[in-house]
Structure formats: structure tokens, C-alpha cells
Amino acid sequence: MKVLANTLRPGHAIEHDGKKYVVVKYELILPGKGNAFIAVDMRDAISGVKTNERFRTQETVEKLMTSEKTCTMLFAEGDQINLMDSETFDQFAVSIDMAGDAGVFLTDGMEVTVETVDDVPVGVRLPQHVTLEITEADAVVKGQTASSSYKPAVLENGVKTLVPPHIAAGTRVVINTADATYVERAKD
């Protein structure tokens, strides 16, 4: 289906120059002189090679229809993750890059959504939130709790995030996988 280039967003699958790509990054550029254009970073769905392309805002591109299936992550091996289809129990491996920046939150046994185009995986989408334990957190500075300030902390998977001052090491917290931000203290 043809769509305007300015409607593309990260995660969309498109066909360009006879190849299937997945949009990784999208940026609208408004130069001081001349027409606006869209700079798109995209990854080849088959080979995984990243490329960038510029489209005029009113240019049309072929958007591919994707289907989704629920899979379970079995284990990671190098830069590959091994998944199992929850319905057919077929196992397959994909590049960890398909999960984007959220790939650092992948854990064994996690339920993920795999997007496919013609039965070829083009993307892995994680749950919106994950629950992890804080391994390191800075000490609270007296008087700092009066304002809405945050302190740096390290999660059990090594990712750094900002948490409220009352969160200490050993506390389980809910983290947004899209941008690695603190959501709330875990209720378990």
C-alpha cells in the first residue's frame, strides 16, 4: 500500500528499490532554505544491513503489511536470540538488533511479539514494561526528597536509569522498555 513518506515511523516495514526494509529511525529535516525532507535510517529485513535514505515529504513509498506472532525467547547466543513460536513450537534465531534499543531488556522466557513480512521476521517487540531489581543506587542526600528529583541507579542487567530518591539497592522496580525510564515500584 502506498503511503506518504512523512507518515513513516520506526518499526514500519517498507519496500524500496526492490528490497524489504524496516524503519529504525525517522527524522523530519527543515532546512533554512529549500523544501523539507525526511531522513530515514532503515535495516534490510533479510541481510540486516543498515542504510539511510532521504525522501521528499510528499513522496510515496510502498508500506508492507506485517503480521504478528507471539513467541517466547529461549536464550541469547552472541548477537542472535533464539525464539520459539508459542503456537507451532517452531524454533528460529533472529538478530538482537531487531529489538532495537530495547534489546538490553530481553530475558530468557520473556514473551515477545515478532513482526513478519511473508513469514520473514522483520522486528521483535518487547512488552511495554519489565520488572527488574536495582543493584546499585546512590545514597539519598538529606533535604533532596522535598523536590521531585531523581538519582542515578543501575539495574540488574547493567542498564543505567534515574529513580526517585526513596528507591534503594535491592528494590524491584517497573521500567519502560522503550526509553529505560522508571515507572513505579514493583508490587510483588
For residue 26, give the CATH number of its domain: 2.30.30.30
Answer yes or no: do 98 and 114 share one domain.
Answer: yes
144 has a pLDDT exceeding 60: no
Distances, alpha carbon 109 to alpha carbons 84, 86, 106, 121, in Å: 10, 11, 9, 19
- 169: domain CATH number? 2.40.50.140
- E-strand ranges in 47-171 read 50-56, 60-63, 67-77, 80-85, 91-95, 111-117, 120-125, 129-137, 151-155, 160-163
Q: Which residues pair with 80 in a beta bridge?
A: 77, 95
Residue ranges of alpha helices (H) inside 102-182 are none
Q: What is the pLDDT of residues 110-133, one digit of tens each?
A: 999 998 888 888 888 899 999 999
Answer yes or no: do 13 and 57 share one domain.
Answer: yes
Domain around 20: 2-63
147 has a pLDDT exceeding 80: no
**Nearest CA among 36, 39, 4, 13 for reference residue 25:** 39
Q: Which of 125, 142, 167 is the last residue of a domain?
A: 125
What b-and-e string marks burial along 34-59, b requiring 16 or more CB atoms within 10 Å of the CB?
eeebbebebbebeeeeeeebebeeee
59 has a pLDDT exceeding 70: yes
Answer yes or no: do 153 and 180 share one domain.
Answer: yes
Mean pLDDT of 66-81: 90
Answer yes or no: do 39 and 74 share one domain.
Answer: no
Pairing relation of β-strands 80-85 and 67-77? Answer: antiparallel
- In this prediction, residue 142 has a pLDDT band, given cuts at 50, 70 and 90, of low
What pTM did the predictor assign? 0.75
| Strand, helix or coil for residue 71 | strand
5 has a pLDDT exceeding 90: no
The contacts found for 105-111 with CB under 8 angstroms, 24 or more apart, are 105/130, 105/132, 105/157, 105/159, 105/175, 105/177, 105/180, 106/73, 106/76, 106/81, 107/73, 107/157, 108/73, 108/74, 108/75, 108/76, 109/72, 109/73, 110/72, 110/73, 111/70, 111/71, 111/72, 111/86
How many domains in the chain?
3
Q: What is the CA radius of gyration of the chain?
A: 20
Q: Which of 63, 91, 106 is the last residue of a domain?
A: 63
Q: What is the pLDDT of residue 155?
A: 92
Answer yes or no: do 119 and 79 share one domain.
Answer: yes
Answer yes or no: do 31 and 71 share one domain.
Answer: no
- In whole numbers, what is the pLDDT of the chain averaged over residues? 87
CB 181 within 8 A of CB 163: no
